[in-house]
Structure 1
Amino acid sequence: MAGLAPHSAGAQGLPTESSLALLGCLQTSLAAQDWRRSGAEVVSEISQRLHCLRVSLGWVSAGQLRIVALSDGVVLEEGAAIPELNQAMLEAVHQHATLFWPQPSKSASRITLAHQMLFKAQGLAGVMSVPLAHQGQVIGVLTCERSVPSDTLRPSAQQELIRGAFEPHEVQWLEVVAEGLAPLLRLQYQLSRPVSERIRDDVALFKHRLRDPSERRLRWMMVALALTLAYGLLWPMPNRVNASARLEGAVQRVLSASQDGFLREVHVRPGDVVKQGQLLAELSDDELQSAKRARLAEVAQQENTFAEAFARGDRGQAAMAQSKVAEAKAQLALVEQQLARVRVTAPFDGVVIAGDLHQQLGAPLKRGDPLLTLAPGLDWRVVLEVDESDVPELQRGQAASLRLAAMPGQPIALVIDRITPVARSTADGVRYEVEARPTGVGAGLAGLRPGLEGIAKIDLPERPVLWRWSVKAWQWLRMMVWTWL
C-alpha cells in the first residue's frame, strides 16, 4: 500500500491520501470476523501505512490494560504482555495524551520515561502512543514502533525516517484514526464478549474502583449498603397483615312475618336503638279478630250443649259436648297466640340494622317474609377480608388492631376467633373471611354501629424485613415456575 503524502492538501487540514487511508482502516475493521481479528488487521494496516516495525493495540478491561493485537498478525492471548511496551501504553493511558519519543523539543511537559525505556530496549528510531477514547474515557491505546531504516526503502523515505521522530502529519493522522476507530472497536468488543466474561469484567472493574483512593464516595456507599442489608436481614421488625374490615353484631336476629296479612304500622327504622320488649311493628289483625270471635261463640255454644246434656243426665251427649268444648278452647288459644304475634317486639336490647318498612305500609306479606334485622348493641364481631397469601400465617388467638373510617382516632383491640375455610372472589383477588372480636377498652366504645368499615392490622411474629420479602419472592417464583412448566 502507498505511504502517506505529507504535503498534499485535503479536507480539514488532512492530506487527501490520508483521508483515504483512514477510510481504509475503518473498512478493514468492519470486514474482520471478530473483535480481536479486527484489532490485529487494523494495526497491520497502520503499520504498513506508517512504515513501522510494529504497531500494537492495548485494551483497557476491568481497570487493567492488556496487549491484544500486534501488527504482524499475532493475536495475543489474555494475560500475555511485553513489559516495556505495556508500560509505555500505560503511560499514555494515565496521561490521556499522545506521547512519542524522541520529542521535538526539550520543553515538553509530558512524562515519557516508559517510552524512552522502550526506545532504548528495542533499539528503535521512534516510538509513539495514541490513546483510544470514547465518551471521555480511555478504552485502549495504539503504540507505533519505528526501526532504523533498511536498504529496501527508497532514498527519500530513508532520509525521512533517519530523523527518527514521527512527523506532525503522521501524528495527526494516527490521532484521527484513533478517534474514528475507538467507538467501532468498543462496539465490536461489547458484541463479542460472552455474558460470563462481561460479568467477570464488571466484577473486576468494581473491585478496581473500590481499591481506587479517589473512589471514596463509592466505598462509603458500599458500607451504607452493607449496613442496610445487615439490618434488613438480621434485625427483627414488626410484622403485620393489613385487611379491610367491617363491624357486625355478634348475633343477628331476623324478625319475620308470623302469618299472611298486611303491614299496619312500623315504629322503628334502621339505626334505631331499641329495648327488649319494645314494639317495633304491627300487622293487620282483622281476620284474626273475626276468627277469635267465632271461636269464642263456638266455645259458648259447646258449653251450653254440655250443660243441657248434663242436666238431662245424658252422659254420652255430655261427654261429646265436653270434648268439643276442649277443642274449641284449643282453637281459641291458637288464634290468641297468632294475635299476640302480629305485634313484633324486640327480643333483646340492640340496634335495628336492616328493614326500612315505612314505604311498605299496607303491603301484603307472606308468612316468613323478613321484616327487621336486630343486632345486640354491646356485643360485636369484626369480619376481616384477608388475602389468600397471608392466610397461612394466621392463627386463632392472634392480636389485631382496628381503626374505623368513622372513628379514625380511636383504635379498637381485636383477637382472632375463627378463620373461615371458604374463599371468596372479589375485585381485589381471592379473600378469606377472618372473624375477630373486640377486647379491652375498645369493646365498650360508644357510637359503634353495625356496618362500619375500616382497616385492621393483624400482628404476626417479628421477622427481618428482607427475610419476609425474600420468602414472598421465593413463593411467587415457585408459583411462576410451576405455571410455566
Structure 2
Amino acid sequence: MRNEYSSLCYPLIKLLHGPASLALASGLCDKYGAERVSLGWVKHDYVVLKALSHTDHFEKKMQVVSDLEGIMEEAYEQDAAVVYPAPENNVLSIREHELYSAAYHTKYILTVPIRNGEDIVGVICCERNSRPFSDLDSEQVYLTSTLCSARLLELYTKSSWFGLRMARAIRKGLSKVFGIEHTWAKLLGLIAIAFILFATLFPLPYKVSAPAILKTDKIIYTTAPFDGYIDTVFVKPGDVVYRGSPLLRLNQTELRLEEADLMAQEQDSRREIQKAQAAHELAEMRIHQARLAQTQAKLKTVRYKLSMATVVVNVDSAIIIEGDLQKRLGAPVKQGSELFQMSSIENIYVEINVPEQELRNVTIGNQGLLAVKSRPDYAYRFETKRVSPTAEVKEQENTFAVRGEFVYGTPAWFRPGMTGIAKIFAEKHTLWWILSHQAIDYLRIKLWW
C-alpha cells in the first residue's frame, strides 16, 4: 500500500507546479479508473468547483457543476468521506449522492474532504461505473489529497491579487479572534483591549493629593507679668480654655511680705504726719506726707503684681499649643518671658503642602476635600485662596504651601495642628496620564538634552 501511495503522490506533486487542481483531478482519475474526478474548493463555507479531470474549461452555470457542488457540500458539512452506495453500517446522510446518481446514471461515488491541518480546504469527488470504491481506495484518496493540500493551498493563495490575499489574511486573523476556540484567552484579550481604550481615551477627574494641617492666623502669647517663681500650673498643651480661665499662678509669698511691710510703713507715716500737725511743724509734716505718698505708690505696685500673679485667658476661646510647665514648678521666670502659646479656635484654615511637580495642576479657586486623621470617615470641602511664592523643603522634597478656606464653616472639634490628607480637584485627564505623568516627567528631567 505504501508503494502504491508513493508512486501516485510524487508525480502529482511535480504536476502541481502547473495547473495544480486539474493535474490532481486527472491523476486520480487515471489511477483509479474513474469516469470523472472533480475538485472543489471551500470558500465562505460553500464548495466551489475548481477542476474536472481531463477538462480544461467548463461553464460554472452548468447544472452538473451545481449538482457536483451539492454532493461535495454534503461531505464537507458532515466532515467525513461519503461512499455511495452506502455500506450497511452507514450513519451519514447520502441524500445528495442518491439524487446525483439517479440524475447522471453514476453507479459508484466517493467524496473525500481535503484537509490542511485541522481545517477542510476542499473536497474531491470520484465517479465510476466499473466497480465500487473500497476502503483502501477511500484511504488512498484521503492521504493523497492531504499530502497535496498544503501545496494546493499555497498555489491558490499566491494566484490571487494582492488585495484579495490581504483580505484573506485579515479574515483568517479575525476568525481566530472571534471564533469559538481559546475562549478565556480571547476574553482576557478583549478585557485588556477595553481597558487600554478606556485608559487612553476617557478622561477622569484628577485630584492632587498632599498632606495638610489645620492652622489659624491668631496666635496668642502669654508672658510672665513680673519676675517670680512658678507656683501652680492649671493647664497643659491641648487643653481648650475660655476667657477668665486661670493658666498659671506665680508664687506670692514675697509679694505678701512686701505688702505687709509697706502697709506698716504707711501707718508709721500717717502717725508722723499727725504728730507734726500737732506740733505745728509744717516742714516735718511735708516730709512725712512725701514718704507716705511714696509708700502708697510702692504698695499699689505690689498689689498690682498680686492681682497679676494668676495668669488668665484674655480671649473668648483658645487651645494651648505650647507651654508644658508642669515640670517647671518652682522654677524662676523673668518678666516678659514666654509662658504659653495659644491658638484661637476661630478662623481655622487648611494649609496643604503640594509637591513641586504637582503645583501646575493647582490654581486659585480650585475646590478640594480634606480628611482629618482623627475622623477620616468624613471629608470637608475647601477652596484654595493663596499659593505661597516660596518653596519649603519637607521630607527631602520641595513643597509649596497652599492655603484653603472651608466653604461651609468648620466643626467645633477642629483644632489647629490637626493633620490629614487633602485632595484638590484639577482638570480631567485620562487614566493613562494619571498613572504615568509623574514617571514621564521624571524621565524628561533626567534624559533631556
- Relative distance call for 1:210 and 1:120 in structure 2 (3 A) is closer
* Paired position in structure 2 for 1:289: 256
Q: Provide the C-alpha distance between the structure 1 equivalents of 2:174 and 2:6, rounded to a whole number of angstroms.
A: 32
1:186-233 CA-to-partner distances (Å, cap 9, x unmatched) read xxxxxxxxxxxxxxxxxx9xx979956434489998876666555444
* Paired position in structure 1 for 2:426: 460
Which ranges in structure 2 are unaligned for 5 or more consecutive residues?
21-165, 180-184
The amino acid that maps onto 1:365 is: V
Question: Among 398, 411, 428, which residue is 1:430 paired with?
Answer: 398
Give, in angstroms, the shift of residue 299 of structure 1.
6.0
- Relative distance call for 1:324 and 1:383 in structure 2 (3 A) is farther
The two structures have a TM-score, normalised by structure 2, of 0.52
Q: Provide the C-alpha distance between the structure 2 equivalents of 1:220 and 1:111, rounded to a whole number of angstroms.
A: 45
SS in 2 for 1:415: strand
1:30-81 CA-to-partner distances (Å, cap 9, x unmatched) read xxxxxxxxxxxxxxxxxxxxxxxxxxxxxxxxxxxxxxxxxxxxxxxxxxxx
The amino acid that maps onto 2:246 is: L
The amino acid that maps onto 1:458 is: I
The amino acid that maps onto 1:346 is: V
* Paired position in structure 2 for 1:476: 442
SS in 1 for 2:444: helix
Give, in angstroms, the shift of residue 344 of structure 1.
1.0
Give, in angstroms, the shift of residue 347 of structure 1.
1.9
SS in 2 for 1:367: coil
* Paired position in structure 1 for 2:411: 445
* Paired position in structure 2 for 1:238: 205
* Paired position in structure 2 for 1:116: 15
Q: Provide the C-alpha distance between the structure 1 equivalents of 2:285 and 2:11, rounded to a whole number of angstroms.
A: 146
Give, in angstroms, the shift of residue 282 of structure 1.
0.3
Q: Provide the C-alpha distance between the structure 1 equivalents of 2:283 and 2:260, rounded to a whole number of angstroms.
A: 28
Give, in angstroms, the shift of residue 345 of structure 1.
0.6
Give, in angstroms, the shift of residue 113 of structure 1.
6.6
* Paired position in structure 1 for 2:30: none
SS in 2 for 1:375: strand
Q: Provide the C-alpha distance between the structure 2 equivalents of 1:268 and 1:230, rounded to a whole number of angstroms.
A: 61
* 8 Å Cα contact 2:361-2:427 kept in structure 1: no
Which ranges in structure 1 are unaligned for 5 or more consecutive residues?
1-102, 122-203
* 8 Å Cα contact 2:245-2:313 kept in structure 1: yes
Q: Does 1:267 align with 2:267?
A: no
* Paired position in structure 2 for 1:347: 314
Query: 1:28-427 to 2 correspondence within 5 Å?
Result: 105-106=4-5, 115-118=14-17, 211=173, 213-216=175-178, 228=195, 231-296=198-263, 329-348=296-315, 349-427=317-395
SS in 1 for 2:360: helix
Q: Provide the C-alpha distance between the structure 2 equivalents of 1:377 and 1:109, rounded to a whole number of angstroms.
A: 103
Q: Provide the C-alpha distance between the structure 2 equivalents of 1:293 and 1:368, rounded to a whole number of angstroms.
A: 26
Greater shift, 224-233 or 338-347, is seen at: 224-233
Q: Provide the C-alpha distance between the structure 1 equivalents of 2:291 and 2:360, rounded to a whole number of angstroms.
A: 67
* 8 Å Cα contact 2:227-2:333 kept in structure 1: yes
Between the two proteins, what is the percent identity of the paired residues? 24
Q: Provide the C-alpha distance between the structure 1 equivalents of 2:370 and 2:439, rounded to a whole number of angstroms.
A: 28
The amino acid that maps onto 1:464 is: T
The amino acid that maps onto 1:244 is: P
* Paired position in structure 2 for 1:22: none
Q: Provide the C-alpha distance between the structure 2 equivalents of 1:473 and 1:213, rounded to a whole number of angstroms.
A: 39
Q: Provide the C-alpha distance between the structure 1 equivalents of 2:265 and 2:10, rounded to a whole number of angstroms.
A: 135
1:373-399 CA-to-partner distances (Å, cap 9, x unmatched) read 333345423332221212233234332
**Root mean square deviation of aligned Cα:** 4.5
The count of corresponding residues between Structure 1 and Structure 2 is 295
- Relative distance call for 1:120 and 1:267 in structure 2 (3 A) is closer
1:115-135 CA-to-partner distances (Å, cap 9, x unmatched) read 4344999xxxxxxxxxxxxxx
Q: Provide the C-alpha distance between the structure 2 equivalents of 1:314 and 1:112, rounded to a whole number of angstroms.
A: 164
The amino acid that maps onto 2:383 is: V
- Relative distance call for 1:110 and 1:260 in structure 2 (3 A) is farther
- Which has the bigger relative contact order, CA under 8 A and spacing at least 6? 2
The two structures have a TM-score, normalised by structure 1, of 0.49
- Relative distance call for 1:472 and 1:366 in structure 2 (3 A) is same
* 8 Å Cα contact 2:367-2:425 kept in structure 1: yes
Give, in angstroms, the shift of residue 401 of structure 1.
1.2
- Relative distance call for 1:459 and 1:332 in structure 2 (3 A) is farther
- Relative distance call for 1:404 and 1:223 in structure 2 (3 A) is same
Give, in angstroms, the shift of residue 359 of structure 1.
2.9
Give, in angstroms, the shift of residue 319 of structure 1.
7.8
* 8 Å Cα contact 1:209-1:215 kept in structure 2: no
1:139-191 CA-to-partner distances (Å, cap 9, x unmatched) read xxxxxxxxxxxxxxxxxxxxxxxxxxxxxxxxxxxxxxxxxxxxxxxxxxxxx
Which structure's CA Rg is the greater one? 2
